[in-house]
Amino acid sequence: MSAVYKSLVKPLLFRLEPERAHELAIDGLAILARTPGLCSWMRAWNQLPDSSSSAVEAFGLSFPNRVGLAAGFDKNAVCWPAFEALGFGHVEIGTVTAKPQPGNLKPRMFRFPEQDALLNRMGFNNEGADAVAERLSELPGPGQRRIPLGINIGKSKVATLDEAVADYRHSFLTLADHADYLVVNVSSPNTPDLRKLQEESRLLDLLGELRRLNQERANQTDKYPIPILLKIAPDLTEPQLDAILGILIDLDLAGIIATNTTMAREGFFASINEAGGVSGKPVETMSTEIIARIHDRTGGRLPIIGVGGISSPDTAKRKIDAGATLVQIYTGMVYEGPFLAKRIARALAE
Ligand SMILES: Cc1cc2nc3c(=O)[nH]c(=O)nc-3n(C[C@H](O)[C@H](O)[C@H](O)COP(=O)(O)O)c2cc1C
């Protein structure tokens, strides 16, 4: 199937402007997601033969395999069931912000096929927490799904840094009932000041408040608290990373997602004069090294979802060997096709 994608589908998609190709893919996958018969046929075809050998437990959830879809592909939760049919073990939707927002001016997504990379400055274009919650309420919720659904939340552009906690609070309260796990995104490079939320005191305020809300919700509803994870940038210094890990351990957060796109402009990218974050191959080693450092510093106590430059079973295995429990893909799927997850999941199970 990967040969069909590479020889037929990809050349057609790559003739289009990258965001147009992305929209077409979303439209096609949304049709698949709304066609239950086709979904179950594809699910049966893409399921791993021995599901017990590929299943993993992490932060209290059960995943049928280790490979998930990274945030940013299905920002508005319009096609996530299609990824389950394609053999993914979990899907992370978003980033969703409290307020709907159009994102940055186009063009804002660029391909670099020779480098197996993308560069984007989308700027959290999404329909907002209320609209996404309404859409999610039409489908089976937590506990009724075959694969866990993560919801990634970020700061609305109009919210100042001082308003950030209230802004995330709205998204948390609106989306919590629909999430198997929640991700606090403080690491996208395309929202002004967002990465400042990775600073120790601001992060402590933000995560402390979300943890309090989570506990309060659990007490009131007799439900378990939702696992909350933090998604970090690959461009943190060692002291910054250590400070963040200290906070996550102190607050007993469920895990960490490492990493988002990079602001670094090394090698070929030194001459590319476009703002935004680079993903794909250029971020592979950076994120694997960060995963290894997190694993080392926390003695393996903090579950890690490894993401960044995974394009094959080998690149996924490197993340697992470094300490990741689960992995996610985005750019690799653009270059290798939608069956990459199944190929990696099968190889990891073996
Ligand atoms: C076009 C594009 C949009 C993205 N949007 C988001 C987003 O909204 N939220 C987020 O947390 N990460 C976002 N990401 C980052 C990915 O989730 C992932 O962390 C990063 O791309 C590294 O993985 P990859 O090399 O497999 O793409 C985006 C990535 C791309 C390429």
Query: Ligand 1, atom 29: nearest CA belongs to which residue?
Result: 72
Catalytic residue among 54, 156, 187, 188: 188
330, 336, 344, best to mutate for ligand 1 pocket (most atoms within 8 Å of CB) = 330
pLDDT tens over the chain, length 350 residues: 788 899 899 999 999 999 999 999 999 999 999 999 999 999 998 888 776 678 999 999 999 999 999 999 999 999 999 999 999 999 999 999 999 999 999 999 999 999 999 999 999 999 999 999 999 999 999 999 999 999 999 999 999 999 999 999 999 999 999 999 999 999 888 888 889 898 989 999 999 999 999 999 999 988 889 999 999 999 999 999 999 999 999 999 999 999 999 999 999 999 999 999 999 999 999 999 999 999 999 999 999 999 999 999 999 999 999 999 999 999 999 999 999 999 999 999 98
What integer pLDDT is reported at residue 222 of this predicted model?
82
Query: Ligand 1, atom 3: nearest CA belongs to which residue?
Result: 72
Evaluated on CA atoms 228, 307, 185, 243, the torsion sign reads positive
Separation CA 86–CA 188 (nearest Å): 27
Task: Residue 278: name the closest of 266, 290, 289 by CA.
Answer: 266
Query: Ligand 1, atom 18: nearest CA belongs to which residue?
Result: 260
- Contact residues for 232 (Cβ-Cβ < 8 A; gap 6+): 186, 187, 198, 241, 244, 256, 257, 258, 259, 260, 290
What integer pLDDT is reported at residue 251 of this predicted model?
96
- Whole-prediction pTM value? 0.98
Catalytic status, residue 188: yes
- Cβ pair 258, 307 in contact under 8 A: yes
22, 188, 261, 328, best to mutate for ligand 1 pocket (most atoms within 8 Å of CB) = 261
Q: Which residue type is seen at 153? A: I
Both tokens of residue 26? 């979303």
> Can you give the residue ranges of every domain in the chain?
2-349
Q: Which residues line ligand 1 (CB under 6 A)?
A: 70-72, 75, 94-95, 109, 118, 120, 122, 124, 152, 185, 188, 231, 260-261, 279-280, 283, 307-310, 329-332
Query: Ligand 1, atom 22: nearest CA belongs to which residue?
Result: 308
- Cβ pair 198, 232 in contact under 8 A: yes
What integer pLDDT is reported at residue 198 of this predicted model?
85
Separation CA 55–CA 125 (nearest Å): 33
| Nearest atom in ligand 1 to 331's CA | 27
CATH of 2-349, one of 2.60.120.560, 3.20.20.70, 3.30.360.10, 3.40.640.10: 3.20.20.70
Both tokens of residue 27? 């439209």
| Nearest atom in ligand 1 to 185's CA | 11
CA distances from 272 to 89, 169, 183, 266, 330 (A): 35, 37, 30, 10, 21
Direct distance between the N- and C-terminal alpha carbons of the chain, in angstroms, rounded to an integer: 20
